[in-house]
Amino acid sequence: MSPSVSGPDIRHDSDMHRFATTVDDVRAYLDYRVEGHTLVITHTWVPEAIGGRGIAGQLVESAFLHAREAGLKVEPACSYAAAWVARHPDYQPLLA
């Protein structure tokens, strides 16, 4: 299975350590930090106005795909990211 992220345009701002998207003029984002060879997902935020559309999952998937491409492991310190990866076994080998 080839992973892909469909849906809103998610942008990676490496200087801000953030993946973000804007849907219906409302911004959603995922923050992370890098510790050695580990991408630590610290926070996922999707405002209620655009909730329920799978945007948080798409942000988390984008972070995991980035980590895979960069050769990093992932630590889902954010509770949403931890729950997401528990439901997506294809990404569990990336866990730190």
pLDDT of residue 8: 81
Token pair 């050695």: residue: 36
> Which one-letter amino acid corresponds to residue 2?
S
Please report the domains of the chain, with CATH numbers, ordered by start residue. Answer: 11-94 (3.40.630.30)
pLDDT of residue 2: 38
Average pLDDT over residues 29-38: 98
A 10 A CB-CB count for 62 gives 19
pTM: 0.91
34-59: pLDDT as tens digits: 999 999 999 999 999 999 999 999 99
Helix and strand totals (H; E) in the chain: 2, 5
pLDDT at 80 over 80: yes
Average pLDDT over residues 54-80: 97
Q: Are 8 and 20 in contact (CB under 8 A)?
A: no
DSSP 8-state secondary structure symbol assigned to residue 3: -
